[in-house]
Structure 1
Amino acid sequence: MPKKTRGCLQGGVGAKLCEHCKDHEQLWIFYAVVLAILTLIVFFDTGTNFASEHVRIWCQGFPIYTEWAALGALLLVAPFASIVHCMQLSQAKTRVLVTSFFSVLGIVCIGLAALNLRQTYLTMAELRKDCGKAGLTKEIEAVWQRADDIYTECDRARQKPLFKCPNLHLDKWKPADRALLEYLEETESDFHCSAFCQKDQQPLFLRQKKISKNGCAWHVGGRVALAGRAASVVAGSMGLFFFAIGLIAAFLPNL
């Protein structure tokens, strides 16, 4: 019958891992706390972003993947520490392995944060500076212009809802264009704006008088920027954290 030492069975990999946890109890508690906090942040932030159709359409999930990658990197720390402990390498080899591991994790997380931030600013530029010139913004602007012309012809005072205009003929619209028209309705509702790329236009769906002077694309760009920056902050912070651990491990006297 194997003997127990400080609550751990002697012999085997399980015993080594148990002893490792006992010897570094405070470190593992710190790791668990950091993991729990980051998990809550990622779940809250990605849940908010996933619920936003604007982020899903324009960012294509990039901020969400960036934050989950940072969380995944943190999850790798526990098995790595256990494997290194079981390998029982020399102090010099352990130092090199630990330094390399955390440095690589740090570089990967910082790189993802930088890529996400770059993509965020490119998308924001497409929405705010180059709106209507190419891509999806051009398609949305064309749909808005078509609907605006129909609405003006139907009811210049815009007293009746757009969808009640007899000349709208939604059944003749392409499914993609109908989807974009619905998206325009959502942007007006979410940001209390009008048009998409153009400024100072009459809304297609809202009936309230106080609306933003900027086109809806400007506000969508702000929402995209908020999501992208938040994801980059999470991933970048984790990257710096890992990189700092790698530097500490490189110069720690008794690793």
Structure 2
Amino acid sequence: GAGVQVTVAEALDRVLTTVDPPLSDLVEAEVRRHTELLLRSTVVALEPGAEGLTCVLRGPDGERRIEVDAVVLAVGVRPDSTLLVQAGARHQKGALLVEDTMRTGLPDVWAAGDCVAHHHLVLDGPAWVPLGPAANKTGRVAGTVAAGGRARFAGIVGTAVVKVFDLDVARTGLTQAEAGPEALVTDVVHRSRAKYYPGGHPMTVRLVHEPGGRLLGGQLAGREGVAKRIDVLATALHARLGVGELAELDLSYAPPFAPVYDPILIAAQRALRTRAPA
């Protein structure tokens, strides 16, 4: 719409690897709808061009040169914890290991935010998930305790939501790849609103669960209502609900917002049918 031609070079073989391939495939299609997408491609050089810069890309078919006005690099993040690690703080691949009060184990030293591995409620162990809500909450806990007050951080389930053009994508808990080969997945595609109500869109729901029914994670993709529903799944993980209990939730219904059986409920009901017999 702005008249800007964009080329996206992705070093991996798919986009948005924080969700499983069925959902990242939807993201890839959405990206290709609006830009040129080059997978397994990296920027290897920037050179002066005739009217700006020449970006040199290397991909499966060799090198390619593109005349560009600007290059935006997104290379990821890592914990900046060198000072405390050198002082003897415990860490996991650079992410500091802390108590639920944010104490590091060093005398009078607390740590919070993106440099910390938070307690993951599904894994029941530390996980480095650098996201804003946990960083904010752990900062409050660290500040309160350091000032002599009482506070504890309950933990995370790794909930995140992003908007890719017109597509909303979200995840919470574990993906299939993170959960391991024993985990089951249940996929459904359902309408975001009552079928007869105008304006609805298909919504993809994936539940990751154990054969016995324990919920391990969930992912959603659609053009509306994704953020609301991922928060339902995040709440279910915090409450340690199984797919059977998830299927019985009394969720809101009105034709402009959801069908009688919400996509979350339909996915949970289908997951029940894939459980191993007791």
Same fold, TM-score > 0.5, yes or no? no
**TM-score (ref. length: structure 2):** 0.21
**TM-score (ref. length: structure 1):** 0.23
The structure richer in strand per residue is 2
The higher relative CO (CA closer than 8 Å, separation ≥ 6) is in 1
Higher alpha-carbon Rg: 1
The structure richer in helix per residue is 1
